[in-house]
Structures are given as C-alpha cells and as structure tokens.
Chains A and B, each alone.
Chain A
C-alpha cells in the first residue's frame, strides 16, 4: 500500500473496451473509484457526443423523480433510506423499465392532483355559497322587519315608495370577497355609484383553502342593494374587478332554505369523493417513497456512466471504445479484476485491454487518506495541491499543528472543553454522520473533529505546563518558593518580592511546568512569563523551520537533484543553524549558566554567574550581526557569556553570509557548465537528466529546462535566495506570535475570572448564592464564546499561517493538481448535497 508521505505513483493507461461491455466495465470502475478518465474529445461540444440521448433520458428521469420527491415532501411522508445498501448501476435495458415506471407514476400523480384541484375548487364554491345563504339570511331578516318599514319610508320618501304604482323593489347581488379587499371595494362602490348602493358585509370566521396555492385565506360575504339596471351593471363590473365571486341567491326565503339544503348534501358528497382522492394520492406516494432514494441512486449512476462514456473515443471499426485514464500504479491489479467482472456481467467474450502509456505530462497527485488524516490533508490542500511525488507535509502536520495551536491556546480548562467536544464528535461519529445535518458551520466542525480533539488534548498538556487552568494554577508537586519573612515584616510591607538568591527559592525547580507561585504573583508574573514564552516561541520556531529545511533534503534526494543538495540545501541549513540555531543555543546557555549559587548567596565572588550579570539574548544577537561588542556597563561583569564568544560569532556570521552567494549563483553556474559540456559533446549529459529528473520511471519532459533562458534562471534563483534569507529573519520573528497569542489568551482568561467569577465567589450570604449563580452563567458564556470559540479560531488561523508560510515555504512547491477519480460515491454525495 502507498503511504501518506508522498503521493501515489500514477500511470497513464489506455483502455480498449468492447462496445457492448463498455457500460458494465465503466460501472464496475465507478464502484471502485480509482480511475480518472481524460476527455478524448475536448473539441466536440456536449450536444454532438455519442451518448447524448441517453444522458438526456436520464435528465428527464431525474426531473420526474424530483417532482415525485417534491410531492412526497409536501405530504410529509418519510423517505426510506437503508444505510449501507446502495443499488448497483442497472443494466441499460433496465432503463426502459425505469422510464416507464416513472412515466406512469408521474402521470398518475398529475391526474390525481388535477382531479383534486377541481374537486377542491368545487368544494370552495359550495362552501362559499353555504356561507352566503347563512349570512345573508340576517340581512333579509332585517329587511323584513316591520319596525324598519318606517325607516325605509323616511329614507326613500313618499314618492320613492310609491313609484311605479307599487312598492319599490330593490335589486341585490351577493358574493364573497377576500377580506383585505373590503375597504377598497366599499370605497370604490361608493364613488362609482355616488352613494346610491347599500353594502352589507359579514366575515366568514373559518379560513378557506385556496385550491390553486392551497393557502388558507380569510374571506367575507357581502350583499349589495341597489336600484335599477344601470347600477346593477356597474356594481357587477366592480365586483368583477375586485375578483369577488358572485353567487345566485333566491329572493324568497323558502327557495333559499331549499337551496341551502341542496348545498349541504352536495358538500357531503364532495367530501367523501375528496377523501378518496386524497387517499389514493397518499397510497401512490407512500409506495413511491419506499423506492425513491434507490431510484435516484440508479438514475444518477446511469447518468454518470453515460457521461463518462462520452469522454471516450470510438475506434474506426466502431466496435470498440478507447479511453485514457490515470491510474494509481499499485491498483492496476484491482482495476484489471474489476474490468474482468464487468466483461463477465455483460456477457462479452473479448476481454478489455489495459495498456500502460508513456507520457511527458505531469500525473495528478493522489494521497490515500483515511478519515483521520483527511482533515489534515485538507488543510494542506487548501494552500496548494502537492506537486507529483513531492514530500507531503500532512503526516507531520497531524502533530505539529495541534502542538503550535496549543502553545497559543495553553489552558487546561479551555483545552478540556475543546477536547470533550472533539471527543464527543468522534465518539458519536456514525450517528452524527447518518443525521446529515445541513448546517455549514456544523459541517466545518464535524469535518475537523479529529483536529479539534487533538488540539484540545495538546492544549491540556500545554495548559498543565503553563500551569494555567481558567487563569488559576495547580500546586501538584509543591512549589519551589517559600516564605521566609516573619509576622511583623509581613504586616508592615504591602508588596514583597521573594529573592531567588536566598533561601526563598529551594534551588530546585518545580518538576513539571511553571511553578504555581507565578500565577499568584500579580505584580511581576507577566515579566517572567513573557521572558519564558518569547524564548520558547523562538526555540519552537527555529526547530520547526529546521525540520522544514530537512524535508527539502528528502525532496532533493528523491528527485535526484544532486546539485540542489550542494548549492541549496547545505547553504540553507548552514545559514539557519549558524545564525538562528546559535541564538537558541544562547538561550539554553543563559538558562544554565546564570543564577544563584547555593551556599554562597549574594557573595561577591560569584557575581559573574549571578542574575546580575545575565546578558540580554536579543542585544547579544543584534551585536553579533553588527560585529559590535558592547562594553558591559555593569561593574565586575564579563562582556561575553563564554570564552571566545566574539571570535566564534564573527566566524559564524561570515560563514553564514558566504552561504548567500552560493545559494545565489551556485545553481545557475552549474546549469551553465552543463550546457557548455553538452554543446561540446552534442548530446545530453547525465547530470542534466538528474537535474530535472523525476523518479519512478516517469519520463522526463526533456526539452523543458534547456529552453529556459539563463537570465531567467538567474532571476528565479535570486528571488528564491532573497526569499529564503530575508524569510528566515522575518519567519523567526513571526513565530513570536506564539508568545503574543498565548499572552493574550492568558490575560483574557484572567480578566474574565477577576471581573466576573471572583465577584460572585466573594459575595456572601443567601443572596450571594443567587448572585454567584447569575455571575457563573455570565462567566461560562464568556469562557465558551470568547475564550474557547473566538480565541480558538484566531489561534487556529495563526497556526495555519505558521504552517503554510513559515514551515511549507522551506520545501513545498504545491504546484500539482488533484486526482479526481470517477467514483459513484463522490457523485452521489455531491448530488445529494445539491438537492438539499
């Protein structure tokens, strides 16, 4: 099996498939997901390809299925999905059956829906009529009321009543209108008829269903009285304009009663019919819901296969399809087996032929990841896909990433919260995966669950070392500091400093991590922690960069770039070691050689190694670069840390500076030499092949390097060198972000504790308990949201930068392209996400 340290070896293969076996073979390869097909007809547009028809039929089937799915969703029927069971791609002839099934289902459903809509419209009309009859009854009753007779007389006047020789007859129309239209409707009527109509309206209490949109709408019944035909036409026009539905309403009370009875019976009948229609629809949908996911899978697989077949070339005899594909060299056997299975299934007698091809092209990058490593690999891919067969930083990132994160995030409490969250996601992995939660933020967290778990665990470790748990410390092994002041002295002085050059310090450090006393020393804790954290940031950074440069050696060896080892790797590592690793060594020397001498506390003879004479590393380093020697201003102190330091430093700086021209001119010089030699011999020399050689049997794009102008080589090398030399200074400084973020995190945690929880813990009595309860909620919310989430995010981003820029710039080109195999799994996954 391949490993993650380099991408897989790939080979370009040519595949000859019998036309009748092609479908089955491609289907098998899709199940396998290890083959990336190349498009052999890039000039042919999508509509002129061979299997356009089939793809179109699949599209049509998919559309039908989506319609079915939408209907199923509307009825809220659960769609069965059997996990782990995925149907194979069906035979081409099955496609016709599937098409017929979907066609039948769709037609049936459309018919049922149409019927249901017609029935519903009918039902709505009848219900409205029912309401009209019921509500207008009140109006008519009022009219018939003899006590109102008088009113009528006064309103219409004598002659009005007697017009035409008999009692005046008012006409009326009744109907139903949307409730929100009533005010406008009323105003319009009043204006258009100059106040000569009389409108009564009553609200229908229960909402009615609109059959076309199936929304619930509120409506009102109205009745309009008017006189004369002219007004009647006008009123009717207005009703039409407002989309009111008018219903015939008999004048005589007996007729109305009869009509109401008729309407009621019809509604009853309609209800039963409607119920039956709904039942039928439900049955159809339930039956479809059982299979719909399966059908989707089948159709998508067929479609994917035909899409792939479209990439193939047809040979002259039309009997055989030719494909070109990238294949991992180690999986040739598996692919052969899959092809054989496909041939057997299709019943073809001629076996497919898989031919290795020679090519000058760069193969795609393929790393075999598992669910644990894929998250880290994605962090790397987010920067750039590794060049083919280049060293893959992902395996080292698995540990260095959480570690650098934890240096910034170091807090036992916050780390434990993060680790618990990560552990929960890893522990409940399967159920959570099956849930398919469709929130983007959740998916980011869930995708990075192993990163989160490791970041949490490492933060717990660094938190223990920093001795920091929610800004408090643990005294596990017993502090190395003790109090030697007596009672009166303690009472008189507010702030007291313990002296390391005395019995206050036990002269043996706290065995694991930072001494708990520092967390209590509010006055100078930051001074001590800063000195410590800045130093470890630089130490860790220099080790990280050295590691990166060493990985470049592995690249040079693998690609057989011997010259690059001599003129790139060696000067690079010398430069970094002599300047920056030397600075790291100075830090260790300072830690070891300056301090108290037990038994001789505060004695003059030991002043040279006491803290009084300890030099600043930064100043020493700057002086070293400037070839300057500062006279030590403090009396009795040596200007240097050890004998011969000045000479050694000068030597180091000169050697390091000499490395720069080697880096700058070495490679162009060798290339020029090679060219001269080749021009003399008239043939390609050996070293040149090695220069741009790729290993693993892949042939070299031979013409590539020679055509490059020598000035271009120079410019390229100059950029590279300047980047490295300036980079090692700025990158070293960049690692100080480890200190800065860690300081910020510790300070924020302390502020949260002092401002909130401390106040709650200090309150006494019964109310104090309540107060503490409230304050704890606030403190916990701030701890989670700001200290864990936001600080975690910022530490994460800084760690990412340290890896992408400071680490990977030392060895990683990242100019490859990703291997994208034809795989049903991937296709179905992306299709499933697209639809949701």
Chain B
C-alpha cells in the first residue's frame, strides 16, 4: 500500500477548507448562493482530480521505460549517483 499520510492529509484538508469551511464565510448578499456553489464545486472537482492522479500512482503496475542517457541524467541531477 503506497499511500503516504502527509500529502493525503494536506490536500484533503486544503480542499476541505475551500469547499466546506469557506462557504460559511461567503459574503452575504444576492450572490451568496452562487459563491457557495462555486467554492464547493471547485473544491470537489480539484480534490477529485488530485486524488485520481495520486491513487493512479500509488501502486504502479508498470515502470517508466527510459533511455540510458536519460537515466544517467536522472542519476546525476535527481540525486543518487550510480556506482
């Protein structure tokens, strides 16, 4: 199970605040309802989209197929130089 606690919490809380907490503080007026819907839908769509990207990679079934030059570059610049 390749889930990690921190990112899931951070992004869920972030979009939760936008979609659940913020609507309570929407300014009063004729547009209050619209602002609430906008906030909730934004949070829902963005969270779902992030979640899908995260879960699709939790347990990858295939690994990236790279050319050796790219791998050498990755090893040098992304840390973990090869032996």
Residues of A within 8 A of B (CB): 1-5, 368, 370, 373, 395-396, 398-400, 403, 407, 461-462, 465-466, 475, 478-487, 490-491, 493-500, 504-505, 507-515, 517-518, 520-525, 527-528, 531-532, 535-536, 539-540, 543, 588, 591-596, 598, 611, 614
Contact = CB atoms under 8 A, between A and B. Distances in A.
Contacts of A494: 67-68
Instruction: Indicate the member of B61, B63, B74, B79 with the most A CB atoms within 10 Å.
Output: B63
19 contacts: A4-B33, A370-B31, A399-B45, A403-B49, A465-B49, A481-B74, A485-B82, A500-B60, A500-B63, A504-B63, A511-B54, A522-B67, A531-B56, A543-B48, A592-B59, A595-B58, A595-B59, A596-B2, A611-B60
Nearest to A465: B53
B42 A513 contact: no
B75 A520 contact: no
Given A480-B57, A512-B7, A525 B64 contact: yes
A830 B2 CA distance: 62
B71 to A, nearest CB: 5
A481 B64 contact: yes
Interface SS, B side: helix
B49 A536 contact: yes
A802 to B, nearest CB: 14
Interface of B: 1-4, 6-7, 10-11, 30-31, 33-34, 37-38, 41-42, 45-46, 48-50, 52-68, 70-72, 74-75, 78-80, 82-83
Given A511-B7, A517-B64, A486 B82 contact: yes
A399 B31 contact: no
B78 A482 contact: yes
B50 A509 contact: no
Contacts of B71: 483, 485, 490, 496
A509 B4 contact: yes
Nearest to B45: A403
Contacts of A484: 82
B30 A3 contact: yes
Given A368-B30, A520-B66, A532 B61 contact: no
Nearest to A497: B65
A399 B30 contact: no
B2 to A, nearest CB: 5
B82 A487 contact: yes
Contacts of B58: 509, 591-592, 595
Contacts of B11: 511-512
Contact of A3 (B33, B54, B55, B62): B33
Contact of B34 (A373, A505, A512, A535): A373
B64 A498 contact: yes
Contacts, number: 193
Given A1-B30, A500-B60, A507-B2, A521 B65 contact: yes
B33 A491 contact: no
Contacts of B38: 395, 398-399
A491 B57 CA distance: 29
Instruction: Indicate the member of B45, B62, B78 with the most A CB atoms within 10 Å.
Output: B45
Given A491-B68, A517-B64, 7 more contacts: A4-B33, A465-B49, A481-B64, A500-B61, A509-B60, A520-B74, A528-B60
Given A398-B37, A487-B83, A496-B71, A509 B49 contact: no
Contact of B1 (A398, A512, A592): A592
Instruction: Indicate the member of B3, B6, B49 with the most A CB atoms within 10 Å.
Output: B49
A496 B65 contact: yes
Contacts of A520: 64, 66, 70, 74
B9 to A, nearest CB: 11
B52 A539 contact: yes
Given A398-B34, A491-B68, A505-B63, A591 B2 contact: no
B63 A497 contact: yes
A539 B48 contact: yes
A479 B7 contact: no
Given A475-B78, A520-B74, A594 B61 contact: yes
**Which 6 pairs show the lowest CB-CB distances between chains A and B?**
A595-B59, A521-B64, A511-B7, A523-B65, A498-B63, A611-B61
A426 to B, nearest CB: 16
A399 B63 CA distance: 35
Contacts of B80: 482-483
A496 to B, nearest CB: 6
Nearest to A492: B68
Given A514-B57, A536-B49, A543-B48, A500 B4 contact: no
A508 B2 contact: yes
Given A480-B57, A513-B50, A588-B55, A497 B31 contact: no
A490 B75 CA distance: 11
A584 to B, nearest CB: 10
Contacts of A514: 53, 57
A325 B52 CA distance: 53
A602 to B, nearest CB: 13
Nearest to B76: A483
A509 B34 CA distance: 36
B82 to A, nearest CB: 6
B68 to A, nearest CB: 5
Nearest to B43: A399
B75 to A, nearest CB: 4
Nearest to B60: A500
Instruction: Indicate the member of B41, B52, B53 with the most A CB atoms within 10 Å.
Output: B53
A465 to B, nearest CB: 5
A532 B65 CA distance: 17
